[in-house]
Amino acid sequence: MLARGASPVLALARVVFVLPTSPPVPWPVVRPVSRGGVAVAERGTFVTRVWLHTHLPRLQAGSPDMISVKAPGQRVGYASWVSVRDVRFVVHERGRQRCVRDGVRNVHAWVVGEEVLRVTSEEFTPVMDFPPPSYRQALYDPFKGSSFVDSETLEPVSTASWVIFSGKNVFYCV
């Protein structure tokens, strides 16, 4: 049964997730739970603050798990799809200046937030390349600017209540 006011439903392999059109406050932590052989999203209690970025070597190699997920005290993991809440878009300016000066990309920009759900390529193959309703796309290019920007208005984006990182795309809801 879907939560009141929640839509659309994103069906991925054996897992069904409900994407909020406008997240309620506070938004419940979600984890896949099996009921009768079908996994559904349900309230949980475990929250981890993670640092996300697109892993360029995996992107260039064509790996579906191209999102690097770093949680303090844990090994770096990789995923195809990650959702986080209470998000900050972080750009370290000295790293960006080094990238522009040398002409070589390096890791200096992250999406930082509380991890809600992480899906790997074993659980999920298609990559969502369109924004869900009421979500906007955020872009970052170190050669064009010093912050993440909205893809339509090109206004800087520094925080969001909810972010879906899918492949190399970042969708956010304010």
Q: Is residue 160 part of a domain?
A: yes
Local structure of 143: helix, strand or coil: coil
User: For position 59, what pLDDT does the model report?
Assistant: 82
**Strand pairing of 38-43 and 149-150?**
unpaired
- The single-letter DSSP state of residue 156 is B
pLDDT at residue 15 is higher than 60: no
Q: Is residue 139 part of a domain?
A: yes
Q: Is residue 39 part of a domain?
A: no
Q: Is residue 30 part of a domain?
A: no
> Domain count of the chain?
1
User: For position 149, what pLDDT does the model report?
Assistant: 96
Q: What angle do CA 149, 155, 156 make, to 5 degrees?
A: 55
Task: State the Cα–Cα distance between residues 33 and 40, nearest whole angstrom.
Answer: 5
Q: Is residue 70 part of a domain?
A: yes
Task: State the Cα–Cα distance between residues 144 and 68, nearest whole angstrom.
Answer: 23
Res. 39 pLDDT band, cuts 50 70 90: very low
Q: Which domain holds residue 81?
A: 46-173
| Cα-based distances in Å from 95 to 70, 107, 108 | 18, 7, 5
Q: Is residue 16 part of a domain?
A: no
Res. 125 pLDDT band, cuts 50 70 90: low
Q: Is residue 128 part of a domain?
A: yes
pLDDT at residue 170 is higher than 90: yes
User: For position 70, what pLDDT does the model report?
Assistant: 93
Q: What percent of the chain has pLDDT over 70?
A: 68
pLDDT at residue 130 is higher than 90: no
Task: State the Cα–Cα distance between residues 136 and 169, nearest whole angstrom.
Answer: 10
Q: Is residue 20 part of a domain?
A: no
User: For position 117, what pLDDT does the model report?
Assistant: 87
Higher pLDDT, 23 or 165: 165
Higher pLDDT, 174 or 131: 174
pLDDT at residue 139 is higher than 80: yes
